[in-house]
Amino acid sequence: MSEALKAVPAILPVRPRFQFPALERMVGDHPLVYLDTAATALRPYDVIDAGCQFCKYHDGNPHRGLHTLSAEATEVYEATRARTATWLSAPGPESVVFTRNATYALNLVARGLAHRLEAGDEVVLTEMEHHANLVPWLTLAKQIGIKVRYIPIDEDGRLDLSALPALLGERTRIVSVVMASNVLGTINPVARIVAEAKNVGALTMVDAAQAVGHIPFDFAAIGADFAAFSAHKCYGPTGLGVLVGKPEALELLDPLETGGEMIEYVDYERATWAPVPQRFEAGTPNASAVASFGKAMDFIDAIGIAEMRAHDVALNAYALERLSAIPDIRILGPTDPEARTGLVAFVDPRVHPHDLSTLLDGEGIAVRAGHHCAQPLHRRLGIPASCRASFGIYTETGDIDALVAGIEKARKVFAR
C-alpha cells in the first residue's frame, strides 16, 4: 500500500459523505462518484434544511417591511453578514457585500473602479486567471485604453514572481490575482503579491473562489483591498457570492446596479446612495441562500479547515500517484500535493477530454471537461482542453480508483 493511500483514511474517522444526500443517488446503474467540487460543492443536509426552514417560516423581504416576517428575515440576513465578516477575519459587517456570485463581485470591483482609470493606466493579473477576473479588465482596456499585464507561470504551473517587480510601476492602478487556480490547482502567495503591489500604491483584489472553505483564508492577514468568492464552492447555496472589502476601499466603488434599497435619497432630479455595503445590494436579495450559508460556515468549522486541507492534500497525493502511473497522461500544475488545492486536471492524448467526460458519466463519475473558463491558460499550456477531477470533504480514495478505472475503460473503447 502506498504512503498516499495510507494517509487518507486517517484524516477523518467519521465519513462526512453520509451528510450529503446527493451521494445517495444513482446515475443510471452506477452510484454517483462526484469529482466536480471545484465547479460546485455538494450541499450537506443542514445547509439544505436551513434554506427550506427560512422559506417555510421567515420568508419575508429583508429591510423592506415592519411586519414580523420581514423583521425576522432582516435579522437572519444581517446576522449572517456579521458572521461572514468574522469568519473571513474582515474588518466588520460593513465590509461584506452579498452578490449573486463571485463573477458579479469581480465585475463590481472592475466596473466600480472604472471612473478612477484613464488611458495608459495598468492592471496586473496572472496568466492563470479565470475569465471572471480577466474579461472585465479586458473590457475596460477596450473601453478606456488601460493596459493589462500578466505575471507569467513557469513550467511547473507556479507564478514566476521574479517578473513581478518589472510589471509594477507608477501607472499600476490595480493588481487582481487568483488565490488558487481552478485548472492548475496552484496556491499563489497572494499576501506577498499584495504587499509588493502596495509598495507602488496599487489597489489589490483577490479571486478566492477556489480558496475559501478549502484552504485557510484570513482577509486581514492577506492585506488585500478586496476579495471575492461564491458560497456554492464551499458547501453552500448557489446564487450567492461575497465581496469582502476594506470599508475605505468599498467607498471608492460606483454601484453596478441601482434601484430599491441601495439609495439614501431620491427625488425627480437626483439620487444619493446608501452607505456601504447596502449601496451595492440593489433589489430583493437571495435571503434564503444567505440563511443557508450560515450553516455552510458551521459545517466547515465543525470539521476544521486544517482537517479539510489535510484531507485534500492526502487525496492530491493519491490522485497524482494513481494518474501518473497511467502511460502518457499529462498532469497540469505542481507535482507537490501541498502546493495545490484539491483538484487534478490532466490530458490523455488517447482520448479527448469531452469524450472522456461523457464516457465517465456513463459510469456514474462526474468530472469537468473543457477549458474551465480559462481559455488563455490552456493556450499557454498548448492544449485546447483538459479533464479535471476535483475533491471535496466527501471524496474518498475509492472515487479516485473509479476515475482511473474509467480512464482505462475509455482507452479501450476509443482504441477500437
pLDDT per residue as tens digits for the range 360-410:
999 999 999 999 999 999 999 999 999 999 999 999 999 999 999 999 999
Q: Identify which has the larger pLDDT, 276 or 12.
A: 276
CATH 3.90.1150.10 fits 3-44+304-414, yes or no: yes
In 3D, which of 265, 266, 264, 257 has the Cα closest to residue 285? 257
CA distance 47 to 239: 14
pLDDT of residue 261: 85
Least reliable range by pLDDT among 63-77, 325-339, 390-404: 63-77
Over residues 193-215, the mean pLDDT reads 98
Instruction: Write down the catalytic residue from 55, 234, 373, 387.
Output: 373
Over residues 272-286, the mean pLDDT reads 94
What does the domain layout of the chain look like in residue ranges? 3-44+304-414, 48-300
Please state, for a pLDDT cut of 70, what percent of the chain lies above it: 96
Least reliable range by pLDDT among 226-235, 260-269, 378-387, 404-413: 260-269
pLDDT of residue 14: 53
Task: Look up 373 and say whether it is catalytic.
Answer: yes
Element (H, E) at 81: helix 68-88
C-alpha cell at 109: 470591483
What is the pTM assigned to this prediction? 0.95
Residue 1 has pLDDT above 60, yes or no: no
Q: What is the DSSP string of 294-350?
A: HHHHHHHHHH-HHHHHHHHHHHHHHHHHHHHTSTT-EE-S-S-GGGB-SEEEEEBTT
Over residues 33-49, the mean pLDDT reads 97
Over residues 274-296, the mean pLDDT reads 95
DSSP 13: S
Over residues 149-171, the mean pLDDT reads 98
Over residues 260-284, the mean pLDDT reads 93
In 3D, which of 341, 347, 343 has the Cα closest to residue 326? 347
pLDDT per residue as tens digits for the range 112-150:
999 999 999 999 999 999 999 999 999 999 999 999 999
pLDDT per residue as tens digits for the range 249-258:
999 999 999 9
DSSP 163: G
Match domain 48-300 to its CATH number in 1.10.238.10, 3.10.20.90, 3.40.640.10, 3.30.450.20. Answer: 3.40.640.10
Helices and strands counted in the chain (H then E): 14, 17
SS3 letters across 97-154: EEECCHHHHHHHHHHHCHHHCCCCCEEEEECCCCHHHCHHHHHHHHHHCCEEEEECEC
Residue 356 has pLDDT above 50, yes or no: yes
Over residues 236-242, the mean pLDDT reads 98
CA distance 113 to 18: 45
Residue 5 has pLDDT above 50, yes or no: no
Count other C-beta atoms under 10 Å from residue 90's C-beta.
Answer: 21
